[in-house]
Amino acid sequence: MSRDATPDPYADPLVFGQRLQILRTRKGMTREQLGGLVGKSGSWVKGVETGRLKTPRLEVILHIAEVLRVRDLSDLTGDQSVRVDLFMGPGHPRLGAVKTAVDAFPLTTQREAPPAAHLSARLARAWAARHSAPNHREVIGALLPDLIRDAQLAVRQAETASERRAGLAALAEVYSLAQFFVAYQPDAALLWRVAERGLIAAQESEDPHAIGVAAWLTTQAHRDAGPTHYEAADAVNLETLAYLEPLLPDASDDVLAITGALTFEAGYTAARRGQTGTAWRYWDQARAMADRLPDAYYHPVTSFSRAIMGAHAVTVAVELHQGGESVRQAAAADAVTIPSRPRRARHRIEEARGYQLDGQPDVALATLTKAHEAAPETIKYNGYAKRIVLEEAESRIPARRRRASELAVKLGLLAA
C-alpha cells in the first residue's frame, strides 16, 4: 500500500485503535463527540486509537459500535471468525423478488392495470398485515412485487392528469411500504433507490399526505446513515414541514398526523445531536398535534397518534442518554395501547435501552423478551437490541448470562 493510500479497516493487520479511528473519521465524528456519546473523554478515544490505552471491554466496544452504527462487529474488532450483524440483518429470502420488481423498467405493457379502488384496497390490507403480523417482513415481502408492478402500470396507463396524480400517490405509498421491508437489508443502494423513487412519485402526485410520508421515510434514511447525514435529514424534514404547516387549518386527520410525525422526527434528529432543548421542544409541538386527533386515530404508516407520544418521549430521553428520564417516561407510556406489533416491539426495545442506561440490565432483558414476543422480525434486525443482548451474554451473573444467551439464540446471534 502506498504512503498516501487510505487504510482499509477491513484488512488485517490493523489493530482495534486504527480501525476505530478510520470508522470514526468516515462517520464525520470528532474524538470529543464519540467520547461524549460513549461516556468517555476525547483524550480517552485518542489513547485507544493511538494504542496508548488497551482495547476496551466488550460492553464498551458494543457501545462504540452502536454509536458509529457499525454494520458488522468484525468491522470494528477485526475478528473475522465471529461475524455479528448489528444494524444490518441477513438478507430476507424475499429480498431478491422485491429487488427485481424495484429494478424493473417497464416500457411496454401487455396487461391492464387494476382499478384504482382495487389497488387502494390491496394497499390497505398490506398496511394492516404489516401492523398485525409478527413476521411482518415475510408478509409484506410476499405482497410487494405485484404491488410495485401494478402501481407502475396504473401510472403508465392513466388517461387523465387527475388519474395520473392519483396513480403516483398510490405508487409513492407502495414505495413507502417497500422501504419498511428494505430497511436493514444488506443492500444500501436498493434502500436509496426506493426512498428516492418514493419521494419523486409523491412530489409529482402533488398529494400533501403522500409527500409527507415520503419525506418522513427519507428523513429516517438520512439520519440512520450517520452524523454526516443529519443536515440532509433536517433539510428534507424542515422543508416538508414548511410546505405542510400552512395547510393544517383545513387539513384531514392524515395530513395533520404526518405533519406531527415529521415534527417529532425533527426532534429525534436533534436528540441524536445531543440538543436537549430543541429535541423536547419538537416533541411538545408534536404532542399538541396529536392532541388534535381523535382518540382512536392511528396513522397507518407512521403510527402517529395520541398513544404513540409516550413511546416517542422514551426515544428522545434514550437518544439524549438520560437514563433516569427514559425510565420515568417508560413507566408513563403504555405499550399495550400501541396497536402495531412492530411498533410495539420497537417501543419495547427503546424501553430496554432506557433500563440499560439506568443500570437495570435484568429489566432490560425482560423488556427485550416482550419485544421478541410482539414481533420477532423487528428485534432480529435491531442493532440496539443486539448490543444489549451480546453485552449481557458476557455477564458475571449466571442467571443474567443464561437469560441473555437464550435470547441471543432466538435472535440468531449464538448457535443453539
| Per-residue pLDDT of the chain in tens (416 residues, 90 and over written 9) | 344 445 454 444 578 888 898 888 887 888 988 888 888 899 999 999 988 888 888 878 888 887 887 777 777 887 655 556 666 666 789 999 999 999 987 766 678 888 999 999 999 999 999 999 988 999 999 999 999 999 999 999 999 999 999 999 999 999 999 999 998 888 889 999 999 999 999 999 999 999 999 999 999 999 988 888 999 999 999 999 999 999 999 999 999 999 999 999 999 999 999 999 999 999 999 999 999 999 999 999 999 999 999 999 999 999 998 889 999 998 888 655 788 999 999 999 999 999 999 999 999 999 999 999 999 989 988 888 988 998 898 888 999 999 999 998 988 876 55
Q: Is residue 154 part of a domain?
A: yes
Q: Is residue 9 part of a domain?
A: no
Domain shared by 121 and 160, yes or no? yes
Domain shared by 162 and 116, yes or no? yes
Angle of CA points 374, 379, 380, to nearest 5°? 125
Q: Which domain holds residue 70?
A: 16-77
Domain shared by 194 and 132, yes or no? yes
Domain shared by 116 and 167, yes or no? yes
Domain shared by 184 and 104, yes or no? yes
Domain shared by 123 and 198, yes or no? yes
DSSP 336: G
From 33, 53, 77, the end of a domain falls on: 77
Dihedral, 257, 260, 266, 272 alpha carbons, nearest 10: -80
* Residue 311 grid cell: 413511546
Q: Is residue 147 part of a domain?
A: yes
Q: Give the separation between CA 283 and CA 278, rounded to whole angstroms.
A: 9
Domain shared by 163 and 64, yes or no? no
Domain shared by 199 and 120, yes or no? yes
Domain shared by 67 and 97, yes or no? no
Answer yes or no: are the C-beta atoms of 134 and 376 closer than 8 Å.
Answer: yes
Q: Report helix, strand or coil for 361.
A: helix
Q: Give the separation between CA 142 and CA 124, rounded to whole angstroms.
A: 15
Q: What is the CATH number of the domain that holds 61?
A: 1.10.260.40
Domain shared by 100 and 25, yes or no? no
Domain shared by 201 and 96, yes or no? yes
Q: How many residues does the chain have?
A: 416
Q: Is residue 67 part of a domain?
A: yes
Domain shared by 116 and 169, yes or no? yes
Q: Report helix, strand or coil for 15.
A: coil
Q: Is residue 158 part of a domain?
A: yes
Q: Give the separation between CA 195 and CA 189, rounded to whole angstroms.
A: 10
Q: Give the separation between CA 246 and CA 228, rounded to whole angstroms.
A: 30
Q: Give the separation between CA 171 and CA 149, rounded to whole angstroms.
A: 9
From 180, 206, 232, the end of a domain falls on: 206
Total structural domains in the chain? 2
Predicted pLDDT at 105:
78
In 3D, which of 285, 221, 235, 233 has the Cα closest to residue 256?
285
Q: Which residues contact 154 (CB under 8 A, 6 or more apart)?
A: 113, 114, 116, 119, 167, 170, 171
Predicted pLDDT at 282:
98
Q: Is residue 52 part of a domain?
A: yes
Q: Give the separation between CA 283 and CA 287, rounded to whole angstroms.
A: 6
Q: Is residue 124 part of a domain?
A: yes
Q: Is residue 230 part of a domain?
A: no
Predicted pLDDT at 399:
93
Q: Give the separation between CA 130 and CA 176, rounded to whole angstroms.
A: 12
Q: Give the separation between CA 252 and CA 298, rounded to whole angstroms.
A: 13
Peptide bond into 13 cis (omega under 30): yes
